[in-house]
Amino acid sequence: MESGAQVRSSTFLRSSASLWILLFFTGGIFLPIGALLELILKEPAKTVGRLALFDPQILSVVTFTLKQALLSTFVSVLLGLPLGWICARSASPRMQSLLQILLALPYGIPTVVVAMTVTAWLGNSGLLASLGWGYSLKAVILAHVLLNAPWIALGICQAKVQIPRAQIEASETLGANFWQRFRWIEWPHLQWSLFSSSVQVFSLCVMSFALVLILGGGPPVETLETEIYSRIRLGSLDLRGAAACAFWQLLLTLIPWVTLHWFSRRAKILEKATPCFDPRRRTFSWVPALLASMFLLPYVTLYRFAALQLWSTSEFFNEISGPLAVSLKLAGAVAVVTLLTALSALISRPSLKGADLLFTLPAGISILVLGLGFWLAYGRWLDPFEGSFTAMLALQVTTTFPLAYRSLWALSQGTQTPALEAARTLGATPVQAFMTVEWPRWRGPILRVAAVAAGVSLGEVAAVSLFYSENLVPIPLLISRWMGQYRFQEAQALAVFLLIACTALTAAVATSGTFLRRQDRLS
C-alpha cells in the first residue's frame, strides 16, 4: 500500500506531465493553427482575403501538388512492393537484418543531401545530363522515389516474414499456384502494410519542401510548400496568400492522417505476429541485398576527391564553424526536448481522453504551415527576418514527437508492474522505482529515440529556412545556399559530412533491432 508521500509524488509527476503536454499542444499547435484559420476566415466574404482560397494561381498549385504527390507515391509503390517481396524471401534471419538495415538507411538521409545527389547525376554537368531531367518534375519524383521506395519495401518485407509458414505450406500441399498463394495467403497480410506505407509516403510527398525548392527549378514546378515559402521569404510579403496555401495544405495532409488513424487498429493486429523464416528458400540470397543497395549507390557520387580536399583547408573550416555549431546545438536541444515531451505524454496518457489521436496529430501538419501559424500567433515576439532559435526548436520537436511517442509507447506496454509495486511497497519513490526496475529496459530505446530526433534535426530544412537569420544559419541551409551560388564543391563536401552523420545515426537505430517492430513485440 502506498504511503501519503508516494501518492503525492505520483500525483505531482502526473500533473506536471499533463501540464507540459497541455502547454505543448496549446502553444505549439492549437494557437498557431487557430491564428492561421482566423486570418483566412475573419474577413468579409467580398474581400480579397476570402477569395484568396480560390485564387486561380493557388488552385493551380494545389492541383500540381496533388499530381506530384500521387505520381511520386505510385512510382514508389511500383518499385517498393516487388522489392519488399523479394527481400522477404531470404531464409536467414541474419540476412533479414542486413536487408532491413539497407532498406531503412535511405529514409534517414537528409533531403538536402538527396537533392545534392540528384543534381550531381541530372545537372548540366551530371552523369545523366543527357536525359534532360534536371530541374524538373521528373527530378523531384526521382528524388522522392529514392527516399520512399525503400520505406515501402521495408514495410512489405516486415509484413511478409510475419506470415505463418504453416499457411504457406498448407496452400502448397493443396496445389495452389503462385498467384493463388499470393492472392489468398500473402495479400491479406501485405495489404495493410502497403496501405499505411503508401498513405505516409503520399503525405510526405505533399509536405516535401527542400526537394521541390532545389530540384524543381521554380515555376511551373511549384507546390504548396514552396508557394508558402516564396510568399513569406521571397519577393513581397503576402501573408493572406500564404495562409490560403496553408489551408489547402492542411486539407491535403490531414486527410491522409485521419485515414491512416482510422485503419490503424487493423494494422496493429497484423504487426503482432511472430516472424517466420522458411529454411527451404535460400535461393537468390544476395540478389535482394544488391537490389536494396541500389538506393544507396547514387550517393557515392558525393565522394569526390576535389570536394573532400576542402576539409584540409582552414578557410572551409572557418566558413562552416558557425553553421556547424548552430546545427549541433539545435540537434542536441531537439533530442532532449523531444524525449521529455514523449515521456510526459506517456505519463499523462491515462488521464487524457483521445490521447492516441491527439499525440499523432503533429504527423498530419506540415512544418511550414505550422511555422506560418507561429508567426501569426506570436508575431510580436517572432519575426522570420530576424531569426529565432526557439521557433526552430519548437517546430522540429513537433515533427519528431509522434515518432518518439509511438516508439516509447510500445515499450511502455511491457511495464513490469509487480516489480514496480514491490519497490514502491518498500518505500521507493516513483523515480527510484523506475530507475531500479525499468531503466535497464528503457535505456537503449531512449538513446535510440534521441539519435533519431537528433538526426532529423541535423537534416531538417523547412523550419530553419523560415526562421533563419545571417547569424543563425544551420548546415542544411548553408548547403542549399551554396548550391544556389554554384559552389558545388563546397556543397558536396558539407553534404558528405551530413550524409555520414545522419546515416550513422540511422544505422545505429536499425542495427539495434528494427526500431519499431521489435518494441511492438513487448506489448
- What confidence tens digit (pLDDT) does each residue in 39-49 have? 887 755 444 44
Same domain, 380 and 455: yes
Same domain, 475 and 509: yes
Rg (CA), the chain: 24
Same domain, 319 and 279: no
Q: Which three cell numbers stand for residue 106?
A: 535511405
pLDDT digits (tens, 9 = 90+) for 54-84: 888 999 999 999 999 999 999 999 999 999 9
Asked whether the predicted pLDDT for residue 248 surpasses 70, the reply is yes
Half-sphere exposure of 245 (CA within 13 A, CB side): 29
Please name which of 160, 123, 136, 143 lies closest in space to residue 75, comparing C-alpha atoms.
Answer: 143
Give how far Cα 122 sits from Cα of 117, 134, 303, 363, Å: 9, 5, 16, 32
Residue 253 domain-assigned?
yes
Lowest mean pLDDT of 110-124, 271-285, 407-421, name the range.
271-285
The total number of residues shown for the chain amounts to 523
Cβ neighbours of 77 (radius 10 Å): 21
Distance in angstroms (rounded) separating the CA atoms of residues 434 and 425: 13
What single-letter amino acid sits at 370?
L
Same domain, 317 and 392: yes
Mean of the pLDDT values across residues 14-30?
Answer: 90
Lowest mean pLDDT of 17-21, 126-130, 413-417, 455-459, name the range.
413-417
Domain's final residue, options 296, 327, 349: 296
Among 16-20, 87-91, 171-175, 338-342, the range with the most confident prediction by mean pLDDT is: 338-342
Q: How confident is the model at residue 514 (pLDDT cuts 50, 70, 90)?
A: very low
Percent with pLDDT over 90 in the chain: 33
Residue 275 domain-assigned?
yes
Residue 189 domain-assigned?
yes
pLDDT digits (tens, 9 = 90+) for 374-397: 989 998 887 767 888 999 999 999
Cβ neighbours of 12 (radius 10 Å): 11
What single-letter amino acid sits at 152?
I
CB 216 within 8 A of CB 138: no
Asked whether the predicted pLDDT for residue 4 surpasses 80, the reply is no
pLDDT of residue 46: 47
pLDDT of residue 187: 81
Same domain, 336 and 287: no
pLDDT of residue 161: 82
Lowest mean pLDDT of 6-10, 108-112, 127-131, 301-305, name the range.
6-10
CATH number of the domain encompassing residue 310? 1.10.3720.10
Same domain, 217 and 159: yes
pLDDT of residue 454: 92
End-to-end CA distance of the chain: 27
Same domain, 142 and 287: yes
Q: How many domains does the chain have?
A: 2
Q: What's this model's pTM, rounded to 2 decimal places?
A: 0.85
CB 76 within 8 A of CB 199: no
Residue 18 domain-assigned?
no
Same domain, 225 and 205: yes
Domain's final residue, options 273, 296, 319: 296
**Rama region for 460: left / alpha / beta (φ>0; ψ in -120 to 50; rest):** beta
Residue 267 domain-assigned?
yes
Mean pLDDT (the chain) is 82
Same domain, 132 and 260: yes
Same domain, 271 and 420: no
Please name which of 58, 26, 405, 465 lies closest in space to residue 252, comparing C-alpha atoms.
Answer: 58
Residue 78 domain-assigned?
yes
Backbone angles phi, psi at 472, to 5 degrees: -140, 75
Mean of the pLDDT values across residues 323-336?
Answer: 94
What single-letter amino acid sits at 52?
A
Same domain, 420 and 466: yes
Give how far Cα 490 sits from Cα of 116, 153, 459, 480, 503, Å: 11, 34, 17, 11, 20
Give how far Cα 34 sits from Cα of 39, 370, 378, 452, Å: 9, 10, 12, 30
Residue 473 domain-assigned?
yes
Same domain, 271 and 397: no
Domain's final residue, options 270, 296, 322: 296
Asked whether the predicted pLDDT for residue 283 surpasses 50, the reply is no
Distance in angstroms (rounded) separating the CA atoms of residues 236 and 169: 66
Q: Name the residue range of residue 492's domain.
A: 304-523
Residue 32 domain-assigned?
no
Please name which of 472, 446, 194 lies closest in space to residue 327, comparing C-alpha atoms.
Answer: 472
pLDDT digits (tens, 9 = 90+) for 460-513: 998 888 898 888 999 999 998 898 888 888 898 899 989 988 888 877 776 665
Mean of the pLDDT values across residues 155-179?
Answer: 77
Give how far Cα 2 sits from Cα of 392, 429, 430, Å: 43, 10, 11
- Which H/E stretch holds residue 285? none
